[in-house]
Amino acid sequence: MMNRSELNRNTTRHLKPENVSPVAPRGTGPLDYMIPWVIKLRIVGTANILQTEVSKTMLLGRSDNKSSTVPDLDFSPFEGYKLGVSRQHAIVSARNSRMMIRDLNSANGTFLNGGRLEPGQEYRLHHGDTIGLGKMQLQVLFVVMPSSYEKNRTPYDDVDISVIGSGQRILLVDDDEKVVNTLKTILRQSGFDVYVAYTVSKALTIIDEKMPEVIVQELLLPDMSGLEIMEYVHNKPGSEDIPIIVITSATGGYQMGRAIEAGAEVFITKPVGVDELLRSLKKLVQSESFTL
């Protein structure tokens, strides 16, 4: 439990609540609730990282024998009780391509970058923010998000999923199941026929059996480097011109340089905005060199 002096040091005067109205689910159009965000919560001071999807709301808290409510993210295994996490501590929600957090009148408070949240008010989360649930510290890391405006410092805009493909085969290669599920849904809604591989060896098998017309891939894969896929494709007769979009958690000019040398058309670092991917695919589909 925090004492009064600790709570007084964590004021909310520099935090501004954001009141963002909910949006009903849609089949097409802005992604608000339709496509889940993929986020990671790193428990500061430990090696624990929790990865999850948020499509509407997610309850943060802890379970125990006295409550029938089971939180979506349960911090009981991570000393949640000792660190002052309430059974129903806070709600994280996806609203209008924004990620929000709201304190549920928790006993020990919810904090955002050191400032205490006013219970019942929504506050916007950014990539890299630190959330405090009582004395538990969590770093927020976005992996897949609807819009890249925050990452690229461009004007905010809703993201639309429009049909830009006409059945072209896309091979999606990533060992992160949540990322794959999210991107696969987006690509299918955009009019593409999607094949999935979680390893380099599986990707090469698919390429041999049914050559894709676009490859969207990670560089960091469990069995081999993703560069092996690029080199294999561009050395294979008849497939030299297949466009490759790299979406990766590998950062730095060296990795980008190696990918471009191996033939990557586009290099996108995670967190990836859905709008980034769709813009790249639209340019490829509309280019004169892209044919079925």
Which two tokens mark 31? 């992604």
User: How many domains does the chain contain in total?
Assistant: 2
| CATH classification at residue 240 | 3.40.50.2300
In this prediction, residue 10 carries a pLDDT of 43
Does one domain contain both 11 and 139? Answer: yes
Residue 149 within a domain: no
Q: What is the CATH number of the domain that holds 28?
A: 2.60.200.20
Q: Which of 143, 174, 196 is where one domain is finished?
A: 143
Residue 133 sits in the same domain as residue 166: no
Q: Are residues 228 and 273 in the same domain?
A: yes
Could you tell me the pTM of the whole model? 0.84
Please report the pLDDT score of residue 62 as a whole number.
Answer: 96
In this prediction, residue 25 carries a pLDDT of 39
Domain-embedded: residue 154: no
| Whether residue 51 sits in one domain with residue 137 | yes
Torsional sign, CA 139, 100, 147, 52: positive
Q: How far apart are the first and last CA of the chain?
A: 63
d(CA 126, CA 18): 13
- The answer to whether residues 99 and 179 belong to one domain is no
Question: Residue 254 has which token pair?
Answer: 């060296």
- Predicted confidence at residue 292, as pLDDT, reads 47
| Helix/strand/coil for 179 | helix
Within-domain flag for 55: yes
**Cβ–Cβ < 8 Å for 216, 247:** yes
Domain final residue, candidates 114, 143, 172? 143
Residue 230, domain member (yes or no) = yes
Q: Which domain holds residue 237?
A: 162-286
* pLDDT for position 219: 94
Residue 22 one-letter amino acid: P
52/127 same-domain check:
yes
Give residue 148's pLDDT: 86
Whether 217 is covered by a domain: the verdict is yes
132 and 24, same structural domain? yes
Q: Which of 115, 143, 171 is the last residue of a domain?
A: 143
Q: Are residues 113 and 172 in the same domain?
A: no
**What string of pLDDT tens digits covers the 292 residues of the chain?**
444 344 444 443 457 787 655 443 343 444 434 567 999 999 999 999 999 999 889 999 999 888 788 999 999 999 999 999 999 999 999 876 789 999 999 999 999 999 999 999 999 999 999 999 999 999 999 999 988 877 776 666 667 778 899 999 999 999 999 999 999 999 999 999 999 999 999 999 999 998 999 999 999 999 999 999 999 998 888 887 899 999 998 877 788 888 888 889 999 999 999 999 999 999 988 875 555 4
Are 181 and 279 in a shared domain?
A: yes
What CA–CA distance (Å, rounded) separates 105 from 111? 12
pLDDT at 150: 74
217 and 120 co-located in one domain: no
Bridge partners of residue 111, in order along the sequence = 116, 132
* Nearest in space to 247 (alpha carbons), one of 128, 99, 165, 145: 145
Same domain, 242 and 122: no
